[in-house]
Chains A and B, each alone.
Chain A
Amino acid sequence: MFDLSGKTALVTGASGGIGGAVARALHAQGATVAISGTRREALDGLAGELGERVHVLTANLSDKDSVEALVPAAEKAMGQLDVLVNNAGVTRDNLFMRMKDDEWDAVIRVNLEASFRLMRAAVKGMMRKRWGRIVSVTSVVGTTGNAGQGNYAASKAGLVGMSKSLAAEVASRNITVNCVAPGFIETAMTDVLNEKQKESILTTVPMGRLGTAAEIGTAVVYLASQEASYVTGQTLHVNGGMAMI
């Protein structure tokens, strides 16, 4: 089950905790992976760890031209692109009344607009092959909202609506488009929280612990697999029961 041998995948934001775990999980199932991110050192480290079937592609997702070049580069490196994982994301948290235009723009540009451009580019090759998987990593806050994250929540909810629309357009071509919505996951993003903050967060999580990046990777593997062929336009929530939607 969930064998990805012979499949190729592009994972954005692979220099981060969740993106790295997603790349590891896809690779472990046999996929060839192209890992992209902003931090070259982290990408090289991950590539060294994975050994074979890995390509490092650096990209700056806040730059339109850099985004447009990414899918063609992945197709060139791997011959084709079967699976696109939109994982890259940034936060610029601020209370609504204090939020600056550039904080709004930066988050929308990377989280939503870059994903749009990557999906538009990737779906072309997938249409030709009559097979494809697109998985976007969103967030529980895209559904529940979160104080101080108006921009981030908008970008993640936007990804969900965009994914559903594309899912409807390309379902007949055996291309599925889904989202994975993590709750609180142990990463550099949550490491900055102090014990007291963590404790208070955990009171909202029935599972009583933070999730691991590997648990997100597993969810992405499922949606990328042949076995998930009848699942499209969905969001798989991986949040320890924090929000049951």
Chain B
Amino acid sequence: MSDIAARVKKIVIEHLGVEPEKVIESANFIDDLGADSLDTVELVMAFEEEFSVEIPDDAAETIRTVGDAVSFLEKKAAA
């Protein structure tokens, strides 16, 4: 697992209080991890803080799964 993926996973576990084994790449925040819309806003805020990036609203809407977040942040890091 990449460093980014590990950090994303840690944030998701902490914020949503879910079992680590549930936080797989395909896990959808709302459908699989029990997040509500406010949780997803908080997650995006937490990602922004952790990775010192800005995630605009239209990009935030495309981040629905753990994998979406990791690939978005990996692309940002590469840019």
Whether B45 and A124, one on each chain, are in contact in the complex, defined by CB atoms closer than 8 angstroms, is yes
Tell which of A30-38, A50-58, A146-154, A169-177 binds the partner: A169-177
What is the size category of the interface that chain B forms with chain A?
A: under 10
Q: Is B42 an interface residue (CB 8 A)?
A: yes
Q: Is the C-beta of A127 less than 8 angstroms from some C-beta in chain B?
A: yes
Judging by beta carbons under 8 Å apart, are B45 and A169 in contact?
no
Q: Mark A159-172, 1 if CB is under 8 A from B, else 0.
A: 00000000001101
Q: Which chain B residues lie closer than 8 Å to A169 at the CB level?
A: 38
Task: Specify which chain B residues have a CB less than 8 angstroms from the CB of A173 in the assembled complex.
Answer: 38
* Min distance, Cβ A17 to any Cβ of chain B, angstroms: 37
Residue ID in chain B nearest A170 by CB atoms: B38
- A: interface residue count bin: under 10
A173 and B45 CA atoms in complex are apart in Å by 15
Given contacts A127-B42, A170-B38, A172-B36, 6 further A-B contacts (CB under 8 A): A124-B45, A127-B38, A127-B45, A169-B38, A172-B38, A173-B38
State A5–B73 Cα separation when bound (angstroms): 41
8 CB-based A-B contacts, threshold 8 Å: A124-B45, A127-B38, A127-B42, A127-B45, A169-B38, A170-B38, A172-B36, A172-B38
Proximity string of chain B (37-50) to chain A, C-beta cutoff 8 Å, 1 when within and 0 when not: 01000100100000
| Residues of B with C-beta under 8 A to A170 | 38
* B7-62 CB contacts (< 8 Å) to partner A: 36, 38, 42, 45
Q: Name the CB-closest residue of B to A169.
A: B38
Within 90-133 of A, Cβ neighbours of B (below 8 Å) are at 124, 127
Chain B residues with CB below 8 A from A172, complex form: 36, 38
Nearest CB of B to A173, in Å: 7
Residue of A nearest to B41 (CB): A127
